[in-house]
Amino acid sequence: MITRHELTQRQTEALAYFQRAGAFITPAEQLRIEIADFGLSDFAHSGLGLLVYVNTARCCAKDLILWPRQTCPEHKHPSLGGTPGKEETFRCRWGKVYLYVEGPPAPQPSCRPPPDRAATYTVWHEIALSPGEQYTIQPDTLHWFQAGELGAVVSEFSTHSADEHDIFTDPAIGRATKIA
């Protein structure tokens, strides 16, 4: 849970990240920046900011903002009603982001999950993205990601986004942020 004051503060901080990445965000868009804490009330470690530009029945485009070493917890996008889960391409715009997906584990991963939630992180194949690099995650694939030392701005291009149906490895996670 976050307070209304923290929401406004985090939206302002997210705008600064967009500016570092050279992205223009309108005043109306700034008010639509979602701040996700995944119900853990530990935004510094588990959370992200996101701005959805379009989400139709066929496609979605959004930007993700991650603060330094902030993690988006492990999850997957399942099939719904006979339709495959979300396929998404992450393109790093600014900073550095480390994706962890199914596959051979990295011998020395660059990131660590939040210590109190470490048992809920199970995939360790590392994909490091710097500005201009991208990676596509197939539907129903477990994944998580963490920003580097400076944070990151990542564009996500995907099929329709139904993130409210994401399946998180950590049963304590709630996708919708509650505001006090």
What does R_g of the chain's alpha carbons equal in angstroms? 15
Distance, CA of 94 to CA of 23 (rounded, Å): 10
Domains assigned to the chain: 4-168 (2.60.120.10)
Contact 43, 2 (CB under 8 A): yes
Q: What is the pTM of this model?
A: 0.95
Q: For the segment 27-79, what is each residue's pLDDT rounded down to a tens digit?
A: 999 999 999 999 999 999 999 999 999 999 999 999 999 999 999 999 999 99
Task: For residues 69 and 104, give the distance between their C-alpha atoms in angstroms, rounded to a whole number.
Answer: 23
CA-based angle 83:65:169, to the nearest 5? 50
Under DSSP, is residue 88 helix (H, G, I), strand (E, B) or coil?
strand
Residue 174, CB-side half-sphere exposure with 13 Å CA sphere: 9
pLDDT for residue 108: 97
**Phi and psi at residue 93, to the nearest 5°:** -105, -35
Q: What is the DSSP letter of 83?
A: B
Q: What is the pLDDT of residues 129-164, one digit of tens each?
A: 999 999 999 999 999 999 999 999 999 999 999 989
Q: Contacts by 58-62 with C-beta closer than 8 Å and gap 24+?
A: 58/159, 58/160, 59/157, 59/158, 59/159, 59/160, 60/86, 60/156, 60/157, 60/158, 60/159, 60/160, 60/161, 61/155, 61/156, 61/157, 61/158, 62/155, 62/156, 62/161
- The answer to whether 46 and 73 are in contact (CB under 8 A) is yes
Task: Give the pLDDT of residue 126.
Answer: 98
Specify whether the CB–CB gap between 2 and 34 falls below 8 A. Answer: no
Is the dihedral angle over the CA atoms 178, 34, 15, 154 positive or is it negative? Answer: positive
Quickly state the pLDDT bin for 14 (edges 50, 70, 90). very high
**Phi, psi dihedrals of residue 148, rounded to the nearest 5°:** -80, -165
